Structure 1
Amino acid sequence: MPVISDVLTALEAAYPPALAESWDAVGLVCGDPAEPVDRVLVCVDPVEATVTEAEEIGAQLIVAHHPLLLRGVHGVPADTAKGSLVHRLIRGRIALYCAHTNADSADPGVSDALADAIGLRVLRPLSPHPAGNTGIGRIGELREPEPFAEFVARVGRALPVTTPGVLGAGDPDRPIRTVAVSGGAGDSYLAAAAEAGVDAYVTADLRHHPAGEHLASLAAVPALVGLTHWASEWPWCGQASAVIRAAVAGNVDTHVSTRCTDPWTIRA
């Protein structure tokens, strides 16, 4: 039977830790690399819902996109939210591994998965690293142009349903062919999307003022499609699952979490 380190080796080849931002916390959070593994849960968020899911399916490893412990901590007591999860994981002999900004920048990575879900042919990174095709975000194109309203509907169909849904900002009749995407919070790349000359920019967590100022620019700027953070990164789970299956084919069951961990649960 494969051991956890076999899975981690495959993940770190696909998502090299060296690509992570200096402030990030990636890698093995808890668990023994030498422990056997025959079932893995892949998810966006390591939270109570996904830890419960891992317990229910008998997974020995959770592979998450977001870190559990991004900030420095001095302890993980069981009477705190994150400490309680660490204790549950250790008691259940469930390892936790996180691939965050290294998965964002990898080729292919988080934004490639988002682009593929939407139906784009990827051309290049939105904010490239100095070498290769690594970097944040992707620029791609549709096979044929379509009106912006239809494109927003396309994005909505491609991604899991969330309570806030998918929002569009722009002329509904504007033809859309070239598109920038960035999984996760992407309003810091609004200028990069505008400079790239794309027709639309798809990302998450767009804030009121940056989005409004972008659209009010006198220059031609991309129309905007706003997603929830979780929905924008969920397609990566399938990509990471495929990495694991290719490395330990037939020996490890991989499960993509279907539990929505988006925090928004009520729409008035």
Structure 2
Amino acid sequence: MSGAATGQHEATLADLRRVTEAFWPAATAESWDRVGLVTGRDDRPLRRVLLAVDAVAATVDEAIALGADALITHHPLLLRGVHTIAEDTGKGALLARLIRADCALIAAHTNADAPAGGVSDEIARRLGLHGTEPLVQGAPPAAHGAGLGRTGTLPEPLTLRAFAELVDGIMPRTVTGVRVAGDPERIVSRVALLGGAGDSLLDHPAVRSADVYLTSDLRHHPAQDAIELARAAGGPALVDVAHWASESLWLEGAAERLAEQLPGVEFTVSELRTDPWDFAVGGER
């Protein structure tokens, strides 16, 4: 998608950084996160931008083939410390290719999870939830109503199986699909959700009081503990989707917003699946 060119100003990387900071302020990211510009120079012309969940070989190839001047990813390439960017390392090879191609790299991670129109907000919108609120209200300078995750109510109660099918319908295809823990005939109405990895909030009061918790990357022991607690004292059913799938839904809206602010720049959303799993065998349905 692209905006119509207006005026004489040629957009630069500095303009993209200004707009991304306005939409997703770095100060609202979690303290452990690493967001913003990874590589690039402010005065470089900006004509094409690719958006993707991950900076991996496939999306870097795509950005370079597109002639993109910048790649915006949700996941930071340098989230964890590295001590070398030698080209015989995975991250070093990616950075070297981006730099040689004059393609900047920008990450918008937890700062893009929390706001209106962010990752969790977009999942809630596609599910049609009413009365949505953050699971965890963001600390200042986050705007009111911004924060991690969302809670809300379905337009009408559904069985857990029907809810899982609704979730499956809004998510892109992955090998692991939608995994569910709970009675398929249980009626659910109140939903708690968190795009990306969410077992850290299994004990949150807003999750415990929901009928179902939708998230990703639920590990064996935290999920098992939550299920046993729900049996003993009440609690939510669990719906687990692929991490990449839950966060990919945000990209389209992000590209549209960026295009509105930077007319004349072409924004493209990657359609590549960067979920790490290629196939599965022997699963029970």
Match of 1:209 among 195, 198, 221: 221
Match of 2:11 among 2, 6, 10: 2
Aligned to 1:255: 268
The CA distance in 2 between the partners of 1:83 and 1:232, in whole Å, is 27
The CA distance in 2 between the partners of 1:195 and 1:146, in whole Å, is 18
Aligned to 1:186: 198
Aligned to 1:157: 169
Match of 1:95 among 104, 127, 132: 104
Contact 2:28 2:138 in 1 (8 A): no
Contact 2:209 2:235 in 1 (8 A): yes
Contact 2:207 2:213 in 1 (8 A): no
Aligned to 2:234: 220
Q: State the superposition RMSD in angstroms.
A: 1.5
Q: Gaps spanning 5+ residues in structure 2: where? A: 1-9
Deviating more after overlay: 114-123 vs 91-100: 114-123
Aligned to 1:238: 252
Q: Which amino acid aligns with 1:91?
A: R
The CA distance in 1 between the partners of 2:139 and 2:76, in whole Å, is 26
Identity value in percent: 46
Q: Gaps spanning 5+ residues in structure 1: where? A: none
Contact 1:112 1:122 in 2 (8 A): no
The CA distance in 2 between the partners of 1:86 and 1:30, in whole Å, is 8
Match of 1:176 among 188, 191, 196: 188
In the TM superposition, structure 1's runs of 4+ consecutive aligned residues that sit over 3 Å from their partners are 193-196
The question of 1:126 aligning with 2:140 is answered no
Q: How does the TM-score come out when normalised to structure 2?
A: 0.89
The CA distance in 1 between the partners of 2:266 and 2:131, in whole Å, is 29
Q: Which amino acid aligns with 2:158?
A: E
Contact 1:180 1:198 in 2 (8 A): yes
Aligned to 1:148: 160
The question of 1:229 aligning with 2:235 is answered no
Q: How does the TM-score come out when normalised to structure 1?
A: 0.95
The CA distance in 2 between the partners of 1:181 and 1:227, in whole Å, is 11
How much does 1:242 deviate? 2.0
Q: What's the secondary structure of 2:37's corresponding residue?
A: strand
Aligned to 1:166: 178
The CA distance in 1 between the partners of 2:161 and 2:188, in whole Å, is 9
Q: Which amino acid aligns with 2:26?
A: P
Q: What is the number of equivalent residue pairs in this alignment?
A: 267
Q: What's the secondary structure of 2:135's corresponding residue?
A: strand
The CA distance in 1 between the partners of 2:55 and 2:165, in whole Å, is 29
Q: Which amino acid aligns with 1:263?
A: P
Deviating more after overlay: 86-95 vs 128-137: 128-137
